[in-house]
Structure 1
Amino acid sequence: MPEKEKSKKRKRTAVVVQDLSDNDGSGSMDVEAHTEREMAPSKYSAAHPLKKRVDDDEKHHRKDSSRQVVVESLLKKKKSAKPEKSKVRGEDDVGTKDRTSAPIVDQAHVTKKSRKDGNLKEEGKGNAKRNAAVKDSEDESEDSAVEGRPTKTYQEDAMEIDDPVDKNSSSDLNTSKPSALFKPKKGRDWTLSIALPGSFIANTKSIEQKNSLAARIARAAAVFCVDEVIIFDDDPSTLPHFASKTQIKGKKTKADLLAGVGPDQEPWDNPDQFLFHVLSYLECPPHLRVALFPHHPNLRGCGAMPSLDMPHHSRPTEWTQYREGVTVEVRDDFSTLHSNSRRNKASTPEEFSYVDCGIGFPVRVPYAIPLHMRVTLKFANADPPPRWPKITQQIADGLNAEPVLASTPREEAGYYWGYTIRRAESLSEVFIGSPYEDGYDYTLGTSERGVRLSSLLPDRRDYRFGSEDDGEPEFVNGSLKLPTSFKHLLLVIGGVQGLEPAVVSDPILKEKGFTKEKAHEAFDGWVDLVPGQGSRTIRTEEAVWLALMGTREYVEGNV
């Protein structure tokens, strides 16, 4: 071996020996250091200085009413000054925390740009011609960014992939990227809802299994464009198993007992709340979760759940006319107009708000909206601003945006805009608590003792071409056939024991004389999703997928 190579080998050996001597030859030093890093406070923990931990569990799960009150008061104040109607999204404020939200910077773009500049600088020493060509191409791209649109809008991307195979091209089909972008057609006022009990979550032992079941429900809702998810208690007459004799004698209600369940025990002792919390988290756009959801035991493992990737989960470089955002604190460096405009000098901070909607800089809206409130924004221009997605705070200040209802993207443009979620204390509360003025015009219950789903579906020619009902109701073994069109369709799925026990356990339905044998009378339709099933039981999470798949063509044909 040459002397030079022997010298290099001796040096490497010396380095290895030195590392082993520093580590006492056991590797314990690395383990301890790794353990200390794991124990360091994260941005979600109570020890982090930028976060005020919300200990009151009720603040994690407030209902829609708080946001609706804000909407009504907001519109009354602005009605005289601004004739156009605008409202703030009303949704469950699950886990709002107090924090200062700095503007989001597109780190991927900054890193990419810095690497590109560094490469050009280094290559310029050996190849001046190539540097000149690169500079010309950059100048040309910047000019096109100002004159035209450098990035396609969401609608253009959807239209481009509508036919992924180019018949005139000899290239192979590209399947490396998903091509099933949601393609909005026209606005719709009809909705699809599903209701299921949270008790099927309690049937599992580990938190990983519970997370997996919740993720399957969320994925089904996203894939089939469900607009509303209701979690109901299918056994409201029975007190929780952990209720003591003292609590029972004190005549505490089930709701009172469940309200006292600690956060660590919710997945086991309060499965309805656990499922509600996880589904709310998964529906929320990723760029809003840190602001709206503090650290909570229910959310352990949510980072490993599959993404829903719905249309309102907009990417930073993807332009859409509608966006989800959260109100953040006003800072002096947010707006160039705030310090230079005479109109803004005379105004008070309460007359406007900043909304972080994930485009890199907060957007200013002319309404006073409480901090950390989720808002649906509609931009006045459907086209992206100049130099998109390379915008500045000055460009963001020039964007004209208004807060609107969460249903506006669906009703105006036909977007699927995620699902709302609510809890019901019993099966009857599912119907009574409907957010729609006229309730649900058709309810479909599932049971192995029901009729075939196909027997209740109208003729395909009717609902595919919008034929009108003749006004004569048609029944199949006591179940009403589905109408050719609907406004609000509800699918109800049972728990481990089915829907019959849920009907009997409901105090209102029981008072009206419903029994297990008459449970089907509580619904318009009573269907068997898989006649002749090979397995003895159909699990709740499976029934959700089967029910949505069985009615998919009917729902798609609704006009």
Structure 2
Amino acid sequence: MQKRNLSIFIPNSFLSETTDLKFKTSKVGILGRLLAVYRANQVVIYNDMSHGDENNFKDGDFIAEVLSFMDTPQYLRKQAFPIKSELKHVGILPPLRAPHHPNNVEPELGDYRQGFTVKRNRKGTFVDIGMDKLAFCREQLTVKKVFSFKITKLAKEVIVTPDEPDDIYWGYKTLSTHKSLKNSLKLVKPDLVVLTTRYADTIDSIFNELEYKVKESDNIAILFGGPYSSIEENVESSNWDLVKVNTIPNQGTETVRTEEAVSATLSIFNLMMD
């Protein structure tokens, strides 16, 4: 059961080593799979102030859009993401195969589905939940947006209500802030912040202490640096507990890529959060 909120912070310099759009898309695809595999609830793209590239803001928005595309069920993508040149390589992205991505299974009464709000009238909102007819929600919702719903009536008229399950993983939300790391953290309001860096205590030396902090925390943020340097910004605050940790002791390569650090780190936290 999902009791804790896990937010992953990725710098907008994540893609700065390449200008190839197909490779960028593929790199984000790896990240999206890791987020889902390890049940991240949110990914935040922050402004890497240590790498002042004018393309960073654009790349940050691109990362967020591709990750949002991956998290959206296949039956909603054409409506939620109009054709645009930046997304021309999304066909190479790996599927998430998460619980909110049903495989052409007809919904049943009580099922949860993500739906795209198509239009509304005075009585409520018409929603596409992947059936051959639109469902109806008796609430006024913003149109052309993706929401989660529970099917409360399944007959000639399909009725849904805004809701999502709390006992299974239901995907991640994506946010590109254009803000510094510390200011981005303020938006999430974590109680525990874990900064990953090779210049900190190794995970084996503080495992028990960190595991205790994780189990006592409701809102956890894990921070990752970019391809050119570790996190240099001071993120200390009286609003959260900060722990710095090296999750890849004795690394065999000169550098560790961000997606490699994400994989190594989240596999450890997956054990701690059970």
Global fold match (TM > 0.5): yes
**3-state SS in 2 of match to 1:369:** coil
Q: Contact 1:480–1:524 (CA<8 Å) still a contact in 2?
A: no
Question: Aligned-pair distance for 1:360?
Answer: 2.4
Distance 2:48 2:60 in 1: 10
Residue type of the alignment partner of 2:83? H
Distance 2:9 2:19 in 1: 23
**3-state SS in 1 of match to 2:48:** coil
Query: 303, 310, 315: which is aligned to 2:91?
Result: 303
Q: Which residue of 2 aligns with 1:450?
A: 200
Distance 1:204 1:279 in 2: 18
Q: Which residue of 1 aligns with 2:222?
A: 491
Query: 339, 349, 352: which is aligned to 2:124?
Result: 352
Question: Aligned-pair distance for 1:523?
Answer: 6.5
**3-state SS in 2 of match to 1:222:** helix
Give ranges in structure 1 of 5+ residues lacking alignment: 1-185, 241-265, 331-348, 386-394, 459-473, 515-521
Question: Aligned-pair distance for 1:359?
Answer: 2.5
Question: Aligned-pair distance for 1:421?
Answer: 0.9
Q: Contact 2:214–2:272 (CA<8 Å) still a contact in 1?
A: no
Q: Which residue of 1 aligns with 2:165?
A: 409
Q: Which residue of 2 aligns with 1:548?
A: 266
Q: CA RMSD in A?
A: 2.5
Residue 254 of structure 2 is aligned to residue 536 of structure 1: yes
Q: Which residue of 2 aligns with 1:430?
A: 184
Query: 316, 322, 337: which is aligned to 2:112?
Result: 322
Query: 138, 142, 149: which is aligned to 1:377?
Result: 149
What do the CA deviations read for 1:71-115 (whole angstroms, capped 9, x no partner)?
Answer: xxxxxxxxxxxxxxxxxxxxxxxxxxxxxxxxxxxxxxxxxxxxx
- Larger % of strand: which? 2
Distance 1:314 1:273 in 2: 27
Q: Contact 1:191–1:488 (CA<8 Å) still a contact in 2?
A: yes
Q: Which residue of 2 aligns with 1:462?
A: none
Question: Aligned-pair distance for 1:353?
Answer: 2.2
Q: Which residue of 2 aligns with 1:211?
A: 25
Distance 1:396 1:528 in 2: 57
In the superposition, relative to structure 1, how do residues 294 and 400 fare at CA in structure 2: closer, same or farther (>3 Å)? closer
Question: Aligned-pair distance for 1:492?
Answer: 0.5
Residue type of the alignment partner of 1:421? T
Distance 1:270 1:430 in 2: 17
Residue 48 of structure 2 is aligned to residue 234 of structure 1: yes
What do the CA deviations read for 1:475-530 (whole angstroms, capped 9, x no partner)?
Answer: xxxx89634332111111111233343x06xxxx6xxxx8xxxxxxx962111111
Q: Which residue of 2 aligns with 1:526?
A: 244
What do the CA deviations read for 1:130-185 (whole angstroms, capped 9, x no partner)?
Answer: xxxxxxxxxxxxxxxxxxxxxxxxxxxxxxxxxxxxxxxxxxxxxxxxxxxxxxxx
Distance 1:237 1:541 in 2: 18
**3-state SS in 1 of match to 2:201:** strand
In the superposition, relative to structure 1, how do residues 489 and 322 fare at CA in structure 2: closer, same or farther (>3 Å)? same
Question: Aligned-pair distance for 1:443?
Answer: 0.9
What do the CA deviations read for 1:242-301 (whole angstroms, capped 9, x no partner)?
Answer: xxxxxxxxxxxxxxxxxxxxxxxx7x7721111111111111111111111111222121
In the superposition, relative to structure 1, how do residues 446 and 374 fare at CA in structure 2: closer, same or farther (>3 Å)? same
Give ranges in structure 2 of 5+ residues lacking alignment: none
Distance 1:221 1:279 in 2: 9
**3-state SS in 2 of match to 1:229:** strand
Q: How many residues align?
A: 268
Residue type of the alignment partner of 1:533? Q
In the superposition, relative to structure 1, how do residues 546 and 200 fare at CA in structure 2: closer, same or farther (>3 Å)? same
Residue type of the alignment partner of 1:454? D
Q: Following superposition of structure 1 onto structure 2, how do residues 454-469 of structure 1 map, counting pairs within 5 Å?
A: 454-458=204-208
In the superposition, relative to structure 1, how do residues 453 and 350 fare at CA in structure 2: closer, same or farther (>3 Å)? same
Q: Following superposition of structure 1 onto structure 2, how do residues 141-160 of structure 1 map, counting pairs within 5 Å?
A: none
Relative contact order (alpha carbons < 8 A, sep ≥ 6): 1 or 2 greater? Answer: 2
Normalised by the size of structure 2, how large is the TM-score?
0.88
**3-state SS in 2 of match to 1:552:** helix
Question: Aligned-pair distance for 1:236?
Answer: 7.1
Identity of counterpart residues, as a percentage? Answer: 25
Distance 1:493 1:237 in 2: 14
Q: Contact 1:457–1:482 (CA<8 Å) still a contact in 2?
A: no
Distance 2:89 2:193 in 1: 34
Residue type of the alignment partner of 1:428? K
Distance 2:119 2:175 in 1: 29
In the superposition, relative to structure 1, how do residues 403 and 480 fare at CA in structure 2: closer, same or farther (>3 Å)? closer
Distance 1:316 1:368 in 2: 28
Q: Contact 1:363–1:396 (CA<8 Å) still a contact in 2?
A: no
Q: Which residue of 2 aligns with 1:116?
A: none
Q: Contact 1:452–1:531 (CA<8 Å) still a contact in 2?
A: yes
Question: Aligned-pair distance for 1:237?
Answer: 8.6
Q: Following superposition of structure 1 onto structure 2, how do residues 333-352 of structure 1 map, counting pairs within 5 Å?
A: 349-352=121-124
Q: Which residue of 2 aligns with 1:93?
A: none
- Larger % of helix: which? 1
Question: Aligned-pair distance for 1:445?
Answer: 0.7
Q: Contact 2:248–2:261 (CA<8 Å) still a contact in 1?
A: no
Distance 1:322 1:369 in 2: 17
